[in-house]
Amino acid sequence: MGTWNSRGLRGSALEELINRTNEQYREKGLALIQKIPTPITPIKIDKEKRHITLAYFDQKSTVDYIGAVQGIPVCFDAKECASDTFALQNIHPHQVAFMQDFEKQGGIAFLLIYYTGRNLILYLPFRDMIRFWERAQNGGRKSFRFEEVDLSYQIEAGHGVFVPYLEAIQKDLDARD
């Protein structure tokens, strides 16, 4: 089992940009999305500085973010990828199950993937994620390549927002009709 200490601050740059974006969306009345904290059990605490120096994750978390966009339930996870190949081991079975159940209830589930080498953020619709996931479960590739994703879901900073993912959600909704 991983520890808080050993995982460092992976993904924190992307998450910080998303958190700021979510604040802007809330202030503008466009969406209410919250970061879901991962429950931890502290093991070592620096009493002088009052900092946790080592902790274990209590339980499996669902996704990083959950909320509503103009009345539509939304959940998503933020991932970073240093290469052009995204390993599906970065997505856990309980996350896939949660997102699948979320979609069955009429919500929108997706991943935001930051390809660090390309300095590019991509919205990956759940339908694409589950296709890659099922391919792996059926003995296929345990990853997907950058060339396999729909680049029309690329997210570019703009409109005074760091990670303007609302346009991608609209595109996802339009593709469902």
* 101 carries a ligand binding annotation: no
Q: Which helix (H) or strand (E) holds 116?
A: none
Q: What is the pLDDT of residue 20?
A: 94
Q: What is the mean pLDDT of each run of 10 residues along the chain (177 residues)?
A: 39 84 96 84 72 63 91 95 94 93 97 94 97 96 96 88 94 92
* Number of Cβ within a 10 Å radius of residue 138: 7
pTM: 0.83
Which residues contact residue 92 at a Cβ distance below 8 angstroms, ignoring those fewer than 6 apart?
Answer: 60
Domains of the chain as residue ranges with CATH = 4-176 (3.40.1350.10)
* 84 carries a ligand binding annotation: no
Nearest-CA neighbor of 82 among 112, 118, 133, 135? 118
Q: What is the pLDDT of residue 39?
A: 63
Q: What is the pLDDT of residue 157?
A: 80
Q: What is the pLDDT of residue 22?
A: 96
Which residues contact residue 119 at a Cβ distance below 8 angstroms, ignoring those fewer than 6 apart?
Answer: none
* 77 carries a ligand binding annotation: yes
* 95 carries a ligand binding annotation: yes
Q: What is the pLDDT of residue 60?
A: 65
Nearest-CA neighbor of 62 among 98, 34, 93? 98
